[in-house]
Every structure is written in C-alpha cells, then in structure tokens.
Amino acid sequence: MARILVIDDDPSIVRVAERILKLDGHEVVTAATGVSALQECRTAPFDLVVTDVCMPGMDGMEMLVQFSREFPGLKIVVMSGGGDESDDVFVRAKRLGAVLTLPKPFTVDEMTQAIREALGKTGEFLPD
C-alpha cells in the first residue's frame, strides 16, 4: 500500500490514525512537529502526509506551503477539530494544495475512505 506520514502534536490522535492506517495496510511514520516532519520527508519519500493544522511552532498551514514547495505533487490531507472555523481552515488548506480535508473527530471509516480517496488525487500548489 502507501507510505504515510502522520503529523499531530496530540499523541492520542497520532495513535488512532496510526492504528487505522496500519490496519488498512499502510506503512506509517509519525511526527509531533512540523520541523521533525520535514526531516522525515527529506530522509525518505512518502506517498501521503496527514497533518493537523493547530500545532506549536510550525503550524499545518506553514507546513503545507513548505511541503508544497519542497515536495511538489506530495499529497497532503489536512485535519482540524477547530469547530466552526474549520470550514475557513479547510478552504485555505485546499487553496494551498491539500488534496483533502478531514474534520476531527473522525471515525475509522471516515479516515479510511479519506485516505483512499486522497491517494487517488493529485496534489497542486496554488500560490497566493
């Protein structure tokens, strides 16, 4: 299947996402920060990145821009549990190159379906 990088500063979200993705047959690498995620991507290629938006240091939007520039075509799914603001966050994320968005909390089926769909899409960076 695919090699997927999951980025979130919440260890419980990382554990759940990792478990779901491994059960679906994917190889999963995790990172708690944008900086460590970039290091992982520079070390070995990934088929897909799944990232939270709200994280300390480099947030998901900054990461999306950086990843799109350094790794053109890398498919990125953006997760957020930001309530009503999620719609704006998701619109901005797609504009910056996210192939799909995933609201938190998510079910096993929602994540599995989102990942399968995202793996079939092409990432595009739309600069401001």
Calpha distance 95→69 (Å, rounded): 14
Domain 3-119 sits in CATH at 3.40.50.2300
Q: At what angle do helices 11-23 and 108-119 cross, to 10 degrees?
A: 70
The pLDDT profile of the chain, 128 residues, written as one tens digit per residue, is: 899 999 999 999 999 999 999 999 999 999 999 999 999 999 999 999 999 988 888 877 888 899 989 999 899 999 988 655 557 888 889 888 899 999 989 999 999 999 999 998 654 444 43
Contact between 71 and 43 under an 8 Å Cβ cutoff? The reply is no
Say what the pTM is. 0.89
Contact between 1 and 25 under an 8 Å Cβ cutoff? The reply is yes
What integer pLDDT is reported at residue 128 of this predicted model?
Answer: 39
